[in-house]
Amino acid sequence: MTRTVSVSADIPTSREVRIVVPDDFPSGPAEITVVHASGDVNSTSTLGELAASEFFGMWRDREDIPDSTAFARELRESGWKRQV
């Protein structure tokens, strides 16, 4: 099972960021990705900007994912389900 926590932060000049996850977050290996948000983080993007982003089509050429559209849909659906 994959568990995700999103964190927004301002990177200080020291380039050091401390991340505290919820108490119920499992310990062990994790993947952390830092994405620089240019401009206003709260601004809205156009469809063209989304299509030009690195996230659009990110699974398109993966040989281990035969149907990237179905894969992305399943990821969204599993993320929307509440954990009991």
Domain-embedded: residue 23: no
pLDDT, tens digit, 9 for 90 and up, residues 28-74: 888 888 877 766 555 567 778 877 887 777 777 778 888 878 888 88
**Full 3-state SS string of the chain:** CCCCCCCCCCCCCCCCCCCCCCCCCCCCCCCCCCCCCCCCCCCCCCHHHHHHCCCCCCCCCCCCCCCHHHHHHHHHHHHHCCCC
31 part of a folded domain = no
Note the pLDDT of residue 56. 77
Number of domains in the chain: 1
User: What are the tens digits of pLDDT across the range 73-84?
Assistant: 888 888 777 665
Establish if 37 belongs to a structural domain: no
Residue 58 structural domain: 47-80
Task: Give a yes or no: residue 65 inside a domain.
Answer: yes
* Single pTM value for the model: 0.37
> Does residue 74 lie within any of the structural domains?
yes
Q: Is residue 56 part of a domain?
A: yes
Asked if residue 6 is part of any domain, the answer here is no
Asked whether residue 64 is assigned to any structural domain, the reply reads: yes
Residue 4: pLDDT band (50, 70, 90) is confident
